[in-house]
Structure 1
Amino acid sequence: MLKISSDQALQLVQQHWQITGEINDLPSYADRNFKISGAQGNFVFKIANPNWSYADLDIENAALLHLVHTCPDLALPKIMLAADGSHIIPLNLYDDAGNTLACHMRLLTFVSGQVYAEAAQQTNTDLASLEYSLGLAIGKLDRGLSDFQHPAMMREVDWSISQLPGLIDEIAHVEDAEIRALVQRHLHYFADNESQWRQTLPQAVIHNDANDYNVIVSTVEPDGDHAQQKNSNQASAHESDPVRAHYQVDAIIDFGDMCFHLRAVDLAITIVYALQHAVDISRVKQCITAILRAYQGVHPLSEPELRILPALINARLSQSVLMATRAFRKNPANTYILVSQIGVHRLLRQFEEIGADELEQLMLSAIR
């Protein structure tokens, strides 16, 4: 853990950005993040873990600066320039053992709203319109990134789907025999085909982590575009109920896992996380259809890309299983690692039950 108090963090923001206000810690896996609220607005002060290089942070900032012009419809975090014009500032901190750590700090605007996971878990949420809005948002984001380039874009990150074949040794440690067999099959299929896919299908810098806690939503009135969404998706049994809550996706945050890969991978990842909130098979199909039809309306994939989408989804699910298996072996006291895999295992079994042919036709229905 990086050692810095809230007061010290606020002093740094005042010194470099001339911004002040009330400061509070924000949860973070390895970094130190603080929310600053005051008359000048709401901001996130980010101190990156020393494992993140300047280039790793610069590609995030460069992408957000690029998206200001290419994706104006989303309320993405905005980069705040320091008084000297820089947007990444070096900082030396200490860890719990007193070792000096070379870090970097940044300031971004805070995106207000509710996370997708919370909205999707509410019993009165109109999931059809929420999922459609998610497809629109990730389509707009991917379209905005389609011409983005950066010197660090070819970097490998832990959650790049290209890392899946490197997890092959973890298969033996998957306890559930059915899941182990499915993961083994999906891993080998991906490993056998990835190179050819990347030679023949479009690639781009992708966000790579549109999980249900990185998607910010707000409530809306069920009219205009949302009325059209309801007409183009299967209505839920309660869709006409006036107390149903309607949401739209306003922003996607946390660009730390960006990488260069098949552009279809971003959509596959988005679907994986949205499906955590679609429990039965009929809802799984409806969720995929809603997201895919919306995405196709703003950033359409080709037929060959749609055909491999089930394989990419299964590859990402398999990667999640193997990453969790490795993490649990390293920290067996953290049983939550395996609890969080319940939805992933369910989806692997449901995709197997639906079958490859029906899944492919489901994807192709977006262009028919």
Structure 2
Amino acid sequence: MSGLPEFVLRPEPLPEMADLLAQDAPSITLDMAADLARGLYGISGSITPLSAEKDANFRIRLASGAEALLKVTNTAEDRGVTDMQTAALIHLAHVDPDLPVQRICRSVKGRSAEIITGPNGDPHIVRLMSFLSGTILAGASPTPEFYPALGSFMARVTRGLRGFFHPAAGHILQWDIKQAHRLRPMLDVIGDAAMRARVAEIVARFDSHIAPQLSGLRAQVVHNDFNPHNLLVDGESASRPVGLIDFGDMVHTPIACDLAVACSYQVTEGDRPLDRIAQIISGYASVLPLEPEELELLPDLMRLRYATTLIVAERRARAYPANAHYILRNTKVSLNGLDALDRVGTSAAQDILCAAAMERPTR
């Protein structure tokens, strides 16, 4: 499904949006979503809600069997940031048409996004995208060849975004590792004193050692959230990635920060916790070679991602307790990752990753 023509049915009059939307996008009902899809995009079909942290997402299955994703953006999100995400997907469709990311579908008015008004006068951005099928990596059991393929896929996305820029790319995002200094005032949200001290030490090291080095690294707009819930794979016994979703954390930052985010989810238990990461690095470097300074910072950048997850997720879970289970889903991964990096040690981890970058992945 490459665009709107595959979807278009006879457009029907658009209902009054003020009667359809609550203030926050996640409160949109199935009936509301159906009205939006029909009025803005001229389509109808069976609709299923999808879980999300900020937006309201709906999977629409048409009578033809084609599927689409209707996304209603939370009113709190900056409109420029949403426009950047849309523009990035359009850009990727041009520079790498075979890259398995979502495609933006035009509305009946020919627009890449529509703006509607909620009952309190709040604007919501509505977009229709192609729906990517596949198994979520978080629910799969990857085969050994998967991890080099994941690395090369990630490098391909990064390379595709290399020539892309947008005025909103410099926005401040706490999930951007280069913003780790902003974690300091939030440390008190961690209730356990020992863990709070541990995370405080990581933030202090960022201020003294890591931040001064980041300005010398290659930087560009990146996806910034290659986590297992955003990656689609080719089945439960995954051998390769087949899709990437959720560009909501896009930002202009060092590519090493983007890579650290992806690697932070792949630490394992046991005596060789960095084996998967080494394979990812090998695959990545086969497409987009890495510089020594980037590789040397990766262990520290991974720790900073874990620290960010622990603090921000706990803070959000307290603010939105009804969605706490979803928000805190990566807490255990972060704690295990910190423990594993401490067992291996920074110097040994750097040696492992630098060696991996010199190897060619086996196909």
TM range (shorter): 0.7 to 0.9
The residue correspondences of 1:139-154 to structure 2 (distance < 5 A) are 139-154=155-170
Partner of 2:339: 349
C-alpha displacement of 1:45: 0.7
Aligned to 1:18: 42
CA drift of 1:173 comes to: 4.8
Distance 2:160 2:87 in 1: 13
Gaps of 5+ in 1: 220-243
1:176 Cα shift? 4.3
1:268 aligns with 260
Change (3 A) 1:340 1:198: closer
Residue in structure 2 matching 1:279, options 269, 280, 284: 269
Q: Quick check: 1:55–1:152 contact (8 Å CA) kept in 2?
A: yes
Output the TM-score relative to the length of structure 1.
0.83
Matching residue of 2:303 = 314
Identity percentage over the alignment? 29
- For the 8 Å contact 1:153–1:260, the answer to whether it is kept is yes
The one-letter code of the counterpart of 2:308 is: Q
Measure the CA separation in 1 of the matches of 2:332 and 2:49.
30
| Cα deviation, residue 318, structure 1 | 1.2
Match of 2:219 in 1: 203
TM-aligned CA distance change 1:307 to 1:216, over 3 Å: same
Deviations 1:216-258 (A, max 9, x none): 1114xxxxxxxxxxxxxxxxxxxxxxxx934310111100110
- Whether the 8 Å contact between 2:221 and 2:250 is mirrored in structure 1 is yes
Cα gap change, 1:182/1:72 in structure 2, threshold over 3 Å: closer, same or farther? farther
CA drift at 1:175: 4.3
Q: Secondary structure at the match of 1:365?
A: helix
Structure 1 residue 340 displacement after superposition = 4.7
In structure 2, distance between residues paired with 1:135 and 1:340: 21
The 1-side partners of 2:190 and 2:48 are apart by 40
Q: 1:302 aligns with which of 270, 291, 299?
A: 291
Q: Which amino acid aligns with 1:33?
A: N
Contact kept? 1:182, 1:348, Cα under 8 Å: no
CA RMSD of aligned residues (A): 2.3
- Which stretch of structure 1 is more off in the superposition, 323-332 or 82-91? 323-332
Listed one character per residue, the Cα deviations across residues 131-165 of structure 1 (whole Å, up to 9, x for unaligned) are 22211211111111111111111111231223321
CA distance in 2, matches of 1:47, 1:40: 22
The equivalent residue for 1:256 is 248
Superposed displacement of residue 18, structure 1: 2.3
Name the structure 1 match of 2:134.
113
- What letter matches 1:35 in structure 2? R
Flag the 1:18–1:350 CA change in 2: closer, same or farther, 3 A.
same
Using a 3 Å threshold, how does the CA distance of structure 1 residues 249 and 93 change in structure 2: closer, same or farther?
Answer: same
Q: Match for residue 315 of structure 2?
A: 326
**SS in structure 1 opposite 2:163?**
coil
Task: Provide the C-alpha distance between the structure 1 equivalents of 2:54 and 2:80, rounded to a whole number of angstroms.
Answer: 18
TM superposition shift of 1:30 = 2.7
- 2:99 counterpart of 1:74: yes
- C-alpha distance in structure 2 between counterparts of 1:31 and 1:135, whole Å: 28
Q: After the TM superposition, which residues 1-368 of structure 1 pair with which residues of structure 2 at under 5 Å, given as runs?
A: 1-2=24-25, 3-38=27-62, 39=64, 41-94=66-119, 99-120=120-141, 125-126=142-143, 128-219=144-235, 245-275=237-267, 278-282=268-272, 284-327=273-316, 330=319, 336=325, 340-368=330-358
Change (3 A) 1:92 1:188: same
Q: Secondary structure at the match of 1:300?
A: coil
* Distance change >3 Å, CA 16–CA 329, structure 1 → 2: closer
Residues matched between the structures, number: 332
Cα distance 1:45–1:182, how it changes in 2: closer, same or farther (>3 A)?
A: same
TM-score relative to the length of structure 2: 0.84
